[in-house]
A and B are shown apart, each in its own frame.
Chain A
Amino acid sequence: MIVGQQKDFDEIKKMITGYNRLLVLGCQTCVAISFAGGMREVEILASMIRMDRKMAGQDVEIVEEAILRQCDFEFLDSVKDLVADCDVVLSLACGVGVQAMAERYPDKVILPGLNTTFMGLTEEMGVWSERCAGCGDCILDRTGGLCPIARCSKGLLNGPCGGSVNGKCEISPDVDCVWQLIIDRLKALNQLEKLEEIFPVKDWSVSGHGGTRKIIREDLTA
């Protein structure tokens, strides 16, 4: 899932300065799981904005809503009337959701309330970590299901490097050396021979270095 983190309140405050009718719009999919942009966070942020404005003696009218997916046009139509009635939309979706809203409602100002951080998973309640870098050419079959692109600090394909100490990365004793994890896992799977094959230079053109990526499936298009 996409993991996000709410922007600092001061930054949000600055963005919404001058707007008096706000739609705070959450997304009930990925960012709700990372406790950054679901209905609960919409309510909290709206309450904070109202209190802040009240203390500043300024009026504000806030509508709180969250839709199932802000990254899909078909879900965006359900808030058509709410969008029409507000001055600005403060979106608590990831960057994809914010852009989908901006595309669907070209006459409306759409502001981001989150910083979209990474593609990852929930390690435990309140802890999320990165797992995929979206490089466009998956190699997990050769690395025991652990990604060195996303999880090695150097993104090494033929690791580990000399900085791996007691299974930890040289950047911090809190960071696991993913190449140590890969070796341990392949050993447990009895597939250590996979490491004898040297990874050639990776084709980064499919990872976004070749421009904005797009997938077209002719069998599915109209």
Chain B
Amino acid sequence: MKAKFEPLILAFCCNYCPSCAADLAESAKLQYPPNIRIIKVPCIGAVGTIHILKALENGADGVCLMGCLEGNCEYLTGNFRAGKRVQYVKKLLGKLSIEKERLEIYNLSAAEAHRFCEIAGEVTETVRSLGPIPLKIDNSKI
């Protein structure tokens, strides 16, 4: 029997709100899919086009960015910049015929542990329904 596809999803989380939300989710013993691998970044605006592309190139089936709520960026505009960058990378993915839904950005506050788990579930489900990224890389090597 063919095993159910389990996607590998890389989540870039801003060190301020979203990472705190993830910590809070852990403290509160909330559950979210184990498919998510979190990378803390100093600001979501620091995630460049190349970081997203390299993640997908090296085996991630999906990438999600989590930044602070609009107006709450520690560096004022990092989350807005990240939003625009995600739209740009989606266009690049379109050129490669890779589904744009594999990349998404969310904004949440430090207190939204439940929202963090909800997003993790949402992203996992979306990418799972898309199937493995068409780059044919063995995820077990990651």
Contacts and interface: CB of A to CB of B under 8 A. Distances in A.
Interface of A: 9-10, 40, 43-44, 47-48, 50-52, 54-55
Interface of B: 48-50, 53-54, 56-57, 92, 95-98, 134-136
B57 A47 contact: yes
Given A9-B95, A48-B92, A55 B134 contact: yes
B95 A51 contact: no
Question: 7 closest Cβ contacts across the A-B interface?
Answer: A47-B53, A9-B95, A43-B50, A54-B135, A47-B57, A51-B57, A55-B134
Contacts of A40: 48-50
Nearest to A49: B96
A96 to B, nearest CB: 26
B96 A51 contact: yes
A40 B48 CA distance: 9
Contacts of A44: 49-50, 53, 92
B98 A51 contact: yes
B126 to A, nearest CB: 20
B59 to A, nearest CB: 11
Nearest to B92: A48
Given A9-B95, A10-B95, A51 B56 contact: yes
Nearest to B98: A51
Contacts of B134: 55
Contacts of B50: 40, 43-44, 47
Given A40-B48, A54-B135, 14 more contacts: A9-B92, A44-B92, A47-B50, A47-B54, A47-B57, A48-B53, A48-B96, A51-B56, A51-B57, A51-B135, A54-B136, A55-B97, A55-B134, A55-B136
